[in-house]
Amino acid sequence: MTSPFSDQSALVSIRNLTFTRGGRKIFDDISLDISRGKITAIMGPSGTGKTTLLKLIGGQLRPDSGVVQVDGIDVHRLSLGDLYELRKRMGMLFQSGALLTDLSVYENVAFPLREHTRLPESMIRSVVLMKLQAVGLRGARDLMPGQLSGGMARRVALARAIVLDPMIILYDEPFTGQDPISMGVLVQLIQDLNRGLGLTSVVVSHDVRETASIADYIYLISDGKIVGQGTPEEVDRSDSPWVRQFMHGLPDGPVHFHYPAVDYASDLLETAVSG
Amino acid sequence: MVTALQWLGQWAMGAVHKLGRAHLFALHALSGFPQVLVRFPLLVVQVYSVGVLSILLVAISGLFVGMVLGLQGYNVLSDFGAEESLGVMVAASLVRELGPVVTALLFAGRAGSALTAEIGLMKATEQLAGMEMMAVDPVKRIVAPRFLAGIVSMPLLAAMFSIIGVLGGYFVGVGLLGVDEGAFRSQMQAKIDFHEDIVNGVIKSLVFGVIVTWIAVFEGYDAVPTSEGVSRATTRSVVYSAFAVLGWDFVLTALMFGKD
At A38, which amino acid appears? K
Q: How many helices (H) and strands (E) does chain A have?
A: 10, 10
The ipTM estimated for the assembled molecules is: 0.80
* Residue B260 pLDDT: 60
Q: Is the dihedral of CA B73, B79, B82, B83 positive or negative?
A: positive
Confidence of residue A271 (pLDDT cuts 50, 70, 90): low
How far apart, in whole angstroms, are the C-alpha atoms of residue A78 and residue A18? 19
How far apart, in whole angstroms, are the C-alpha atoms of residue A152 and residue A179? 11
Three-class SS state of B179: coil
Contacting residues of A for B134, CB less than 8 Å apart? 87-88, 111-112, 115, 160
Q: Which of B133, B141, B142, B230 to mutate to test the interface with A (most CBs of A within 10 A)?
A: B133
Which residues numbered 165-224 in B keep a CB inside 8 Å of some CB on A?
A: none
Q: Please state the length of chain B.
A: 260
A217: β partners: A40
Three-class SS state of A219: strand
Q: Are A240 and A226 in contact (CB under 8 A)?
A: no
Q: Is the dihedral of CA B24, B26, B29, B33 positive or negative?
A: negative
**pLDDT tens digits, A164-216:** 989 999 999 888 878 888 888 889 889 988 988 888 999 998 888 888 889 99
pTM of the model: 0.85
pLDDT (tens digit, 0 to 9) for every residue of chain B, 260 residues total? Answer: 888 999 999 999 999 999 999 999 999 999 999 999 988 999 999 999 999 999 999 999 999 999 999 999 999 998 988 888 899 999 999 999 999 999 999 999 999 999 999 999 999 998 999 999 899 999 999 999 999 999 999 999 999 999 999 999 999 999 999 888 898 899 988 988 888 889 999 999 999 999 999 999 999 999 999 999 999 999 999 999 999 999 999 999 999 887 66
Instruction: Provide the percentage of residues in chain A whose pLDDT is more than 70.
Output: 95
**How far is the alpha carbon of A100 from chain B, nearest alpha carbon, in Å?**
6
Separation of CA A141 from chain center: 26
How far apart, in whole angstroms, are the C-alpha atoms of residue A247 and residue A267? 34
Whether A7 and chain B come into contact, CB under 8 Å, resolves to no
* Residue A234 pLDDT: 86
Whether A62 and chain B come into contact, CB under 8 Å, resolves to no
Confidence of residue A257 (pLDDT cuts 50, 70, 90): confident
Per-residue buried b or exposed e for B59-69, using 16+ beta carbons within 10 Å of the residue's own CB: eebbbebbbbb
Chain A CA closest to residue B128:
A98
CB distance B133–A87 less than 8 Å? Answer: yes
CB distance B141–A112 less than 8 Å? Answer: no
Contacting residues of B for A101, CB less than 8 Å apart? 122, 125, 127
How far apart, in whole angstroms, are the C-alpha atoms of residue B219 and residue B196? 34
Whether B49 and chain A come into contact, CB under 8 Å, resolves to no
**How far is the alpha carbon of B107 from chain A, nearest alpha carbon, in Å?**
23
How far apart, in whole angstroms, are the C-alpha atoms of residue B256 and residue B243? 20
Q: Are B32 and B135 in contact (CB under 8 A)?
A: no
- What is the rounded average pLDDT of the residues A119-146? 91
Confidence of residue A273 (pLDDT cuts 50, 70, 90): low
Three-class SS state of A167: coil
At B240, which amino acid appears? Y
**Residue B46 CA neighbour count, 13 Å, CB half:** 28
User: Sheet of A225-230: strands edge to edge?
Assistant: A90-93, A168-172, A200-205, A39-43, A217-222, A225-230
- The radius of gyration of chain B's CA atoms, rounded to the nearest angstrom, is 21
At B120, which amino acid appears? G
How far apart, in whole angstroms, are the C-alpha atoms of residue B89 and residue B70? 9
Of all helices (H) and strands (E), which one includes residue A226? strand A225-230
How far apart, in whole angstroms, are the C-alpha atoms of residue B87 and residue B185? 6
Q: Is B241 exposed, middle or buried (0-12, 13-18, 19+ CB in 10 A)?
A: buried
Residue A47: pLDDT above 80?
A: no
Cα angle: A128, vertex A159, A162; to 5 degrees: 95
How far apart, in whole angstroms, are the C-alpha atoms of residue B146 and residue B158? 18
Q: Which residues contact A258 (CB under 8 A, 6 or more apart)?
A: none
Determine if residue A37 is left, alpha or beta; phi over 0 gives left, psi from -120 to 50 gives alpha, anything else beta.
Answer: left
**pLDDT tens digits, A64-103:** 999 999 988 898 898 888 999 999 999 899 888 889 988 9
Question: Mean of the per-residue pLDDT values for chain A?
Answer: 86
